[in-house]
Amino acid sequence: MATITAALVKELRESTGAGMMDCKTALTENDGNFEASVDWLRKKGLSKAAKKAGRVAAEGLVAALVEGTKGVVVEVNSETDFVARNTDFQTLVRNISETALKSGKTEVEELNAQAYPGGATVAEAITTAIANIGENLTLRRAAELSVTDGVVGRYVHTQISDGLGKIAVIVALESTGDKEVLATLARQLAMHVASANPAAMTADEIDAATIEREKNLLREKNAGKPDKVMEKIIESGLKTYYKEVLLPEQVSNHPDHGGKTVAQAVKETEGKAGAPIAIKGFKRYALGEGIEKQTGDFAAEVAAAAKG
């Protein structure tokens, strides 16, 4: 039987990121063969990842990445918020974002199948990260915006590292105008979207069920009014609702816009840009939105794990 030295264990640990005892066991099981031990740990990592797959992952990071006339937002989840500060996890999220931007693939299944730096696929890279980090990690969603001529701007709120944080926004502006002026406006609008969380660009983009719910609320608040009066109340109420949720009609939060609506701010900027400007769309990802989080005593879980 080969002698398993501390230096060999250390080398395997640094190469794979696996735990010290796992590395020692791998070398023992494979008679000191380094490459066979790497494969053994990868197989063991796959097994660990499968066991973690059922855990709720609602923390992690969202990313916004922009290059020229194209931008993406991506969300990768973890089980705890501690992982967001892990540099390996940050690299994973950034690399997945770059892969989405370069490939143009934002459907999760398609993005998971894309080549990841180093030769693996995105899905395989996530599985390896699960084994190394020790938590369930999932690529939840990704989206893209692009323009023929113009800019895509970004803003990341509660930024932990460049382009990575808790809220990520991209805004696409179509225009032949001055690109510096457009870039400034796109970032300002992205900051507004992060704060105001508009529902859509136009009323047609809001689903019928949501509109009907708003109408029902107005009917309940004004019960007993004559039908003709109710019609006017609903019409007026929906106009107010649209001002609150449609991006162009919202009052901009950015101080440079002086209390103007987003549409007014865009129109005003056209003079500086030297050309018409159209907002082609926006994407806003808030970390973990819509995920039902598990509740429990995390300290107790850690203590239990420490006891073995």
Distance CA 146, CA 173 (A): 9
Average predicted confidence (pLDDT) for the chain: 87
Q: What are the distances in angstroms from CA 296 to CA 87, 225, 253, 300?
A: 26, 49, 37, 9
Residues 94 and 126 in one domain: yes
- Residue ranges making up the domain that contains 19: 6-52
Mean pLDDT of all residues in 85-96:
96
Shared domain check, 41 and 183 = no
| 51 contact partners, CB below 8 Å, separation of at least 6 | none
> Mean per-residue pLDDT for 144-164?
96
For 224-260, the DSSP string reads: T--HHHHHHHHHHHHHHHHHHHBGGGSBP--GGGTT-
Q: Would residue 135 count as lying in a domain?
A: yes
Statement to judge: residues 126 and 195 lie in one domain: yes
Band of residue 58 on the pLDDT scale cut at 50, 70, 90: low
1 part of a folded domain: no
109 and 207 co-located in one domain = no
Asked whether the predicted pLDDT for residue 107 surpasses 60, the reply is yes
State yes or no: pLDDT of 53 exceeds 50: no
Q: What is the pTM of this model?
A: 0.77
Helix (H) / strand (E) containing 270: helix 262-273
Same domain, yes or no: 158 and 272: yes
Give the separation between CA 128 and CA 89, rounded to whole angstroms: 11
Most confidently predicted of 10-19, 115-124, 172-181: 172-181
Please state the rounded mean pLDDT for residues 249-260: 94
User: The CATH number of the domain where 238 resides is what?
Assistant: 1.10.286
DSSP letter at 55?
A: S
Check residues 79 and 247 and name the one with the higher pLDDT.
Answer: 247
Q: Is the pLDDT at 119 greater than 60, yes or no?
A: yes
Per the domain annotation, does 292 fall within a domain? no
- Per-residue burial over 251-282, b if 16 or more Cβ lie within 10 Å, else e, is ebbbeebeeebbebbbeebbeebeeebebbbb
Give the residue-averaged pLDDT of 95-105.
97
- Residue 149 pLDDT more than 90? yes
Residue 296 belongs to a domain: no
Instruction: Tell me the residue length of the chain.
Output: 308
Mapping DSSP to helix (H, G, I), strand (E, B) and coil, where does residue 119 land?
Answer: coil
Q: Indicate the angle between helix axes 122-133 and 87-103, nearest 10 degrees.
A: 170
98 part of a folded domain: yes
Share of the chain above pLDDT 70, in %: 86
| Same domain? 223 vs 149 | no
| Higher per-residue confidence, 23 vs 222 | 222
283, 247, 286, 291: which is closest to 101 by C-alpha?
283
| Residue 157 belongs to some domain of the structure | yes
211 domain residue, yes or no? yes
- Residue 89: CATH number of its domain: 3.30.479.20
Q: What is the CATH number of the domain that holds 38?
A: 1.10.8.10
Confidence band, pLDDT 50/70/90 cuts, at residue 169: very high
Are 161 and 237 in the same domain? no
Burial 121-137 (b: 16+ CB within 10 A, else e): ebbbbbbbbbbbbebbb
Give just the sign of the alpha carbon dihedral 173, 188, 101, 62: negative
Q: Are residues 95 and 238 in the same domain?
A: no
Has residue 147 got a pLDDT over 90?
yes
**pLDDT, position 19:** 60
| 184 lies in some domain | yes
- What mean pLDDT do residues 236-247 have? 94
One domain for residues 135 and 184: yes
Q: Are 85 and 77 contacting, i.e. CB atoms less than 8 angstroms apart?
A: no
> What pLDDT sits at residue 44?
63
Check residue 138 and give its pLDDT.
Answer: 92
Q: Look-up: residue for tokens 């990592």?
A: 45
Instruction: Mark whether 135 and 259 lie in a shared domain.
Output: yes
Q: Is 212 found in the same domain as 119? A: no
Confidence check: pLDDT of 157 > 90: yes
Both 166 and 184 in one domain: the answer is yes
3-state secondary structure of 293: coil
Q: Please say if the pLDDT value at position 50 is more than 60.
A: no
Q: Tell me the pLDDT tens digit for each residue of 59-68.
A: 999 999 999 8
DSSP state, 222?
Answer: T
Total domains present in the chain = 3
